[in-house]
C-alpha cells in the first residue's frame, strides 16, 4: 500500500529476535509464516538476517517466495532498504528472522547485529524468549532489551517452552506488571516445533520431502499458540519507507545470444543466494541447472558456477557419477571459466575423506579434502586479492562468510592462491582461493549485493569463452 501524502511505500514488517541463539527464532518464524500464508492466505516476503543458506531454504519453502538475506556487515544500509522494498513490493508484509541474540554483532557497538537490521529498516521487534526454568526473571530480561537501545522498538514477546498453566500465568503477570508489553504467543514445552539438523545447521528444506510433515505440525501449533492478529498489528506499526534508487535490469537480448552459465543445483549443492543467480541473469547470462548426482555429462556451457552444500553427504553418488566428473575435468583443462565456493571447492579436488572412507571427486584441483567433527572455519571471511585470477582485480577486498567442517590436505606445493585472508580461516588461516587455469575456488561465500563486480566478471568471462568456442579454438 502507498502513503498518499508522500508516496512512500508502507510495508507492514517485523523482525523476530531473541535474547540468545537457540531460543526458537527459526521455528517461531516458520510457524508464523505457515500460519499467515496457509491460514490467513497472506502474501508474506521472508528475509533472514546475516549469512545463511539453510534457514532461508525453509522460509522460502513455507512462504512460497524466495527468502532474501539482509546483512549489515556485508551490505550498506541503502542496499538493505532497497532489497527489502524491491522484494516486498507485491507482498502483504515482510518478516525478518534474526540471528543469535538481538544485539549480538561483530564488535562492542553491535555492528552486523539483528538490532542493526531492525534499525535500518525501521521495523518493530518481537522477542522470542526461552522460558525454561524462569518465572519472574522474564521481566528484567525483557525490560533490559526494551531499554538497551532507544532506536529499537521491542513491541511484543513470544514465550517459548512454557511448562504449564501456572508457569504461563507467572510469566504473563511479570511482563504485564513490570514491562507493559503484549504477549503475542505462548508455546508449551514439548510441542513438536522441531526440524532435524546436521553439522551445518538445519537439514536443507529441499532434501527430504517427508519433512513436510514437520512443517504441517509447526503450522498447526503456530495457529493455536500465536496471536496472529496481534502480530499483524505490530507489523503495521512500521513507518513508511522511501523507495531507494534502482530497479530491475532490462533484458539485454534474445536467450540464444546470451552466454550460458551452468549451475550445479541439487541435493548436494544447494547453497545459493537468489541474488547471486539473479545478478548473473541481469548481467546478461542464461542459466542452465545441472544435477551433479544424475546428469551424466556437462552440457555445453560457457562458464560453471558450483556453490556450497553437502558434497560429503552425497559423496558416494557424486563418485558414482563418473561421466560428469570426467566431463568437468576435461572442461577445466580446456579452460572453461569456473567459479566454486566451499562445496564446489571440495568437488573439484581429488577426493573426500569422510567417516572412514574416501570418495573420488573431479581431480581438477591438486588437493584432497578431510571432513572433521568440528568447524574448521565459521563466520565472516574478509580477503584481499593478491594473486592473478579470472574474476577479481588485484587489491580488491572481498567480504563474505565461511562455514565448513572440511580442510584441505596433500596440497601440491606449486598451487596458486588468489586471496590473502584478512579475517577468518580460509584454507590455511592465511590463504584462500585456489587458482588453476580459469578456475577460482575458495571457502569464501560471497553475496552479489555486497560484491556486484563478481557477476559482471563471470558473465564477461563466459562471453569470452563463448567467442573462443565459436571461433573453433577448442
Helix (H, G, I), strand (E, B) or coil at 406: strand
Closest C-alpha to 450, from 56, 48, 69, 55 = 69
Supply angle C-alpha 287, 252, 306, rounded to 5.
20
Helix (H, G, I), strand (E, B) or coil at 80: helix
Report the length, in residues, of the chain. Answer: 474
Residue 415 near residue 408 (C-beta atoms within 8 A): no
Residue 272 near residue 445 (C-beta atoms within 8 A): no
Estimate to the nearest angstrom the gap between the alpha carbon of 473 and the chain centroid.
Answer: 39
Distance CA 119, CA 214 (A): 33
Stretch (H or E) spanning 468: helix 453-470
Distance CA 164, CA 47 (A): 33
Cα 399 to Cα 84, 355, 385, 446, distances in angstroms: 21, 32, 11, 7
- Active-site residue among 67, 179, 225, 342? 342
State the DSSP code for 429: S
Stretch (H or E) spanning 138: helix 138-147
Cα 95 to Cα 84, 140, 214, distances in angstroms: 10, 26, 21
Residue 195 near residue 58 (C-beta atoms within 8 A): yes
Structure-derived torsion over alpha carbons of residues 400, 405, 410, 413, reported in degrees to the nearest 10? 20
β-partners of residue 288 are 262
The 3-state secondary structure of 96-130, one letter per residue = EECCCCCCCCCCCCCCCCHHHHHHHCCCCEEEEEE
Residue 100 near residue 112 (C-beta atoms within 8 A): no
The 3-state secondary structure of 338-372, one letter per residue = EEEECHHHHHHCCEEEECCEEEECCCCCCCEEEEC
Cα 337 to Cα 63, 82, 253, 279, distances in angstroms: 35, 31, 22, 17
Distance CA 390, CA 303 (A): 11
Among the residues of 202-341, which ranges form H helices? 212-225, 228-235, 274-282, 315-320, 322-334
362 belongs to the catalytic site? no
So which residues are the catalytic ones? 342
Amino acid at each position: 500500500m502507498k502513503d498518499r501524502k508522500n508516496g512512500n511505500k508502507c510495508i507492514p514488517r517485523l523482525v523476530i529476535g531473541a535474547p540468545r541463539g537457540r531460543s526458537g527464532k527459526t521455528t517461531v518464524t516458520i510457524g508464523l509464516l505457515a500460519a499467515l500464508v496457509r491460514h490467513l492466505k497472506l502474501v508474506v516476503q521472508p528475509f533472514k538476517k546475516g549469512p545463511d543458506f539453510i534457514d532461508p531454504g525453509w522460509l522460502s519453502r513455507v512462504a512460497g517466495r524466495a527468502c532474501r538475506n539482509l546483512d549489515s556487515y556485508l551490505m550498506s544500509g541503502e542496499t538493505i532498504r532497497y532489497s527489502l522494498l524491491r522484494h516486498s513490493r507485491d507482498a502483504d508484509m515482510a518478516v525478518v528472522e534474526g540471528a543469535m541474540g538481538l544485539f549480538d554483532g561483530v564488535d562492542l557497538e553491535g555492528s552486523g547485529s539483528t538490532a542493526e537490521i531492525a534499525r535500518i529498516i525501521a521495523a518493530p521487534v518481537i522477542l522470542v524468549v526461552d522460558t525454561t526454568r524462569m518465572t519472574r526473571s522474564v521481566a528484567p530480561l525483557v525490560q533490559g532489551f526494551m531499554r538497551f537501545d532507544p532506536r529499537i522498538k521491542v513491541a511484543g514477546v513470544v514465550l517459548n517452552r512454557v511448562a504449564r498453566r501456572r508457569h504461563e500465568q507467572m510469566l504473563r503477570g511479570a511482563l504485564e506488571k513490570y514491562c507493559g508489553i503484549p504477549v503475542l504467543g505462548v508455546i508449551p514445552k514439548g510441542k513438536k516445533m522441531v526440524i532435524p539438523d546436521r553439522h551445518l545447521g538445519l537439514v536443507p528444506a529441499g532434501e527430504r520431502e517427508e519433512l513436510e510433515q514437520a512443517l504441517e505440525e509447526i503450522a498447526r501449533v503456530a495457529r493455536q499458540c500465536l496471536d496472529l492478529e496481534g502480530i499483524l498489528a505490530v507489523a503495521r506499526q512500521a513507518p513508511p519507507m522511501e523507495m531507494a534508487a534502482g530497479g530491475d535490469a532490462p533484458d539485454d537480448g534474445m536467450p540464444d545470444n546470451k552466454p550460458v552459465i551452468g549451475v550445479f543445483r541439487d541435493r548436494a549443492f544447494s547453497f545459493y543466494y537468489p541474488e547471486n543467480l539473479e545478478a548473473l541473469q541481469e548481467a546478461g547470462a542464461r542459466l542452465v541447472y545441472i544435477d551433479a548426482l544424475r546428469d551424466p555429462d556437462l552440457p555445453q556451457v560457457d562458464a560453471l558456477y558450483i556453490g556450497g552444500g553437502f558434497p560429503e553427504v552425497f559423496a558416494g553418488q557424486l563418485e558414482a557419477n563418473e561421466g560428469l566428473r570426467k566431463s568437468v575435468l576435461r572442461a577445466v583443462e580446456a579452460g572453461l571459466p569456473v567459479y566454486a565456493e566451499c562445496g564446489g571447492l571440495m568437488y573439484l579436488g581429488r577426493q573426500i575423506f569422510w567417516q572412514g572412507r574416501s570418495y573420488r571427486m573431479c581431480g581438477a584441483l591438486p588437493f584432497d579434502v578431510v571432513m572433521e567433527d568440528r568447524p574448521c572455519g565459521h563466520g565472516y571471511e574478509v580477503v584481499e586479492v593478491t594473486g592473478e585470477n579470472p574474476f577479481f582485480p588485484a587489491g580488491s577486498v572481498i567480504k563474505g562468510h565461511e562455514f565448513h567442517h572440511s580442510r584441505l590436505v596433500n596440497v601440491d606445493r606449486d598451487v596458486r592462491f588468489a586471496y590473502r585472508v584478512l579475517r577468518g580461516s580460509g584454507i590455511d588461516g592465511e590463504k584462500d582461493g585456489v587458482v588453476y587455469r580459469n578456475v577460482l575456488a575458495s571457502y569464501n561465500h560471497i553475496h552479489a549485493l555486497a560484491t556486484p563486480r563478481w557477476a559482471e566478471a563471470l558473465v564477461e568471462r563466459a562471453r569470452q569463452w563463448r567467442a573462443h568456442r565459436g571461433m573453433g579454438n577448442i
